[in-house]
Amino acid sequence: MKKIVCMTVLLLLCIGPAAAYEIKCDCPQEVYRGQVIDVQGTSTLPPGYSTWLTLYEVQPLARQLGQVTIVIQQGGVWSAEIPTAGLEGGTYKFEIYEDTINYPYSSSSDSPVVFKVIDRSGEIVISSPSTQAYRGYIDVAGRVTTEEAPPGLQIVAANANGDDVYGPLYIRTDEGGYFSESVPVESPGRYSVRFSDFKNNEERYITQVTFVLEAAATTPTPETTTVQPTSAPDTGKKVSASAQASRDSPAYFEIDTKPGTLTVTTSTGIDWRLFYLKDGGAVVKVDETGSVSPETFSITTAGGTVYLKAHPVAAGDEGVITITATNADAITVSSGAAVQFDDPVPGGAAEETPVPVCVPLAALIILGYLLYRE
């Protein structure tokens, strides 16, 4: 018996406890909506080991949002990026997945990590159009909506590749918070302008606004050979429709499209979130800007109907949304389109008015009286 006990103890000593790995990360406690969170970390995990971050919304809604893969590099370093343009203001966290059997984490590891997203996009209203004819510059004009407007705003313009082409430069705001600036650019295209201010010796991000500069139309040189198109050409016809929408009562639309590229754009003033049905029935979410810039997307269609759903990002917002569709024959507000998104039809089916009990009773009394008279 003593031999068995000794052998058991020796076996346990040989096996020993499983090694615990440490994983640490550096993440800001607060970020502004629209910024990309650059998470940096170190680890004792072996190089090449991969796992993932799972992102959760804590407030105002508790839900899982998505995952980001991380790979341990030489020296144990790792990094990940978390975009916040599609998040609303609130509290969030991410957890690093742990393989508890093969790679358990030590108690000193960082997981979960909590951070806050601050939404300042409503502090600026842009009055210049989001689509402009190219004249060598972007017309950037608007107003700061806060009661105490900063003495100036810092702007940085970037091209479609994300390369800065102008700024950082501070521009003046007047007593009413109004500002205006002509931002020089070298060519037509899509540009973004980032706004920030300065307070307590700190630069504070506000929002990012997208502008599209269109080149002047040119007359094409006629060709001797005419090619017959296989489908109707893109006429660029624009149609619009408006509807009341809130978080609990979304607006639904049906777009009768032409073959070619369909472009959909929302009105501004409220931070809208769009959903449309992709080929195959998958629902695609569009939520890239705040209240100062329209949500927009473009898809290629063969013609037919495209279904659209829209509601405000913030639970307390409510208002009228205007949807503009380019290269479409018509757009209509359609509560019946809710079934395409597996949503209940707003209002439901009308109930039949019940016949009062007194009506058949009175009829029986009258019939009995007539039979008695006979």
Residues contacting 124, CB < 8 A, separation 6+: 142, 143, 144, 145, 153, 195, 206, 207, 209, 292
Interval 217-255: pLDDT, tens: 665 665 555 544 444 444 567 888 888 888 888 999 888
Q: How confident is the model at residue 157 (pLDDT cuts 50, 70, 90)?
A: very high
Instruction: Say yes or no: 198 and 259 in one domain.
Output: no
| Residue 28 belongs to domain with CATH number | 2.20.130.20
Residue 260 in any domain: the answer is yes
In the three-class reduction of DSSP (H, G, I as helix; E, B as strand; rest coil), residue 7 is classed as: helix
Residue 90 in any domain: the answer is yes
In the three-class reduction of DSSP (H, G, I as helix; E, B as strand; rest coil), residue 33 is classed as: coil
Instruction: Say yes or no: 263 and 198 in one domain.
Output: no
Instruction: Say yes or no: 92 and 142 in one domain.
Output: no
Instruction: Say yes or no: 145 and 56 in one domain.
Output: no
pLDDT score for 327: 86
Total number of domains in the chain: 3
Residue range(s) defining the domain that contains residue 146: 136-214
pLDDT at position 156 over 50: yes
Instruction: Say yes or no: 147 and 91 in one domain.
Output: no
Instruction: For the full predicted model, state whether its pTM sits above 0.75.
Output: no
pLDDT at position 374 over 50: yes
Let me know: does 271 contact 317? Beta carbons within 8 Å. Answer: yes
Residue 154 in any domain: the answer is yes
Instruction: Say yes or no: 200 and 246 in one domain.
Output: no
Residue 37 in any domain: the answer is yes
φ, ψ of residue 63 to 5 degrees: the values are: -165, 155
DSSP3 helix / strand / coil % (the chain, rounded to 5) = 10, 50, 40
Residue 220 in any domain: the answer is no
Among 89, 118, 147, identify where a domain stops. Answer: 118
Instruction: Say yes or no: 202 and 268 in one domain.
Output: no
Instruction: Say yes or no: 242 and 334 in one domain.
Output: yes
Instruction: Say yes or no: 245 and 311 in one domain.
Output: yes
Let me know: does 116 contact 90? Beta carbons within 8 Å. Answer: yes
Among 90, 118, 146, identify where a domain stops. Answer: 118
Instruction: Say yes or no: 207 and 273 in one domain.
Output: no
Instruction: Say yes or no: 113 and 57 in one domain.
Output: yes
Residue 7 in any domain: the answer is no
Q: How confident is the model at residue 42 (pLDDT cuts 50, 70, 90)?
A: very high
- Transcribe 47-108 into DSSP letters: TT-EEEEEEEEEESS-EEEEEEEEE--GGG-EEEEEE-TTPPSEEEEEEE--BTTTBPBPTT
Let me know: does 252 contact 333? Beta carbons within 8 Å. Answer: yes
pLDDT at position 112 over 90: no
